[in-house]
Structure 1
Amino acid sequence: MIIREQTMCLAIPGQVISINQSASPITAKVNFSGIIREVVVEWIDQVAVNDYVIVHAGFAISKLDQQAALETLQLFEQFEQQQE
């Protein structure tokens, strides 16, 4: 019997703060609760500044509506406060 270890990816919403349309692939600066990262947004249709995205391994994989993003960020904040 082979048992494979499962890993989990934790996706935190990030807000797009700028887009570089001239890059190939298209990239954006994304704010993850104060941490700014450049990510590839080539795969996301009609991504715009202020949109929330889910990023995996440096690539935006989906957009998230603002309400869902803010609710998720609030849950992370509550979890962090409970850990202190």
Structure 2
Amino acid sequence: MCLALPSRVVERLPDDQALVDLGGVRKTVSIALTPEAQVGDYVIVHVGHAIGLLDPEEAERTLALFAELEASQAEASQPTGAAT
């Protein structure tokens, strides 16, 4: 299974690299496949490479779904109270 995550470009770096942000996690990735990516753009990142640009609205919807999934998983893992 492959997973590609929407990430926002925070800074362009030399040598086809960029610093991206995904929920507060920042990572340097290759933008060789998306040289048109600019600061503020959303890119799809897969194994350290930006593989495409993403519409900002679509990125926000996807990130909101991830946040909703994370919240539901956290809720499901909470103890339900002691049995009496």
Fold shared by both chains (TM-score > 0.5): yes
Once the two structures are superposed, the pairs formed by residues 31-50 of structure 1 within 5 Å of their partners are 31-50=21-40
**Letter of the aligned partner of 2:3 in structure 1?**
L
Give me the TM-score of the superposition, normalised by structure 2. 0.83
Using the TM superposition, give the Cα deviation of residue 45 of structure 1 relative to its aligned residue in structure 2, in angstroms: 3.9
Could you report, residue by residue, the CA deviation over 1:46-75 in whole angstroms, capped at 9, with x for unpaired residues?
110000011111111001010000000000
For the pair shown, which has the larger CA radius of gyration, 1 or 2? 2
Q: 1:83 aligns with which of 49, 73, 80?
A: 73
Q: Which residue of 1 aligns with 2:82?
A: none
Q: Which residue of 2 aligns with 1:3?
A: none
Q: Which residue of 1 aligns with 2:9?
A: 16
- Aligned Cα RMSD in Å? 0.9
In the TM superposition, structure 1's runs of 4+ consecutive aligned residues that sit over 3 Å from their partners are: none
What CA distance in whole angstroms lies between the structure 2 residues aligned with 1:16 and 1:35?
12
Give me the TM-score of the superposition, normalised by structure 1. 0.83
Task: Report the number of matched residues.
Answer: 74
Q: Which residue of 2 aligns with 1:63?
A: 53
What is the percent sequence identity of the aligned residues?
39
**Letter of the aligned partner of 1:10 in structure 2?**
L
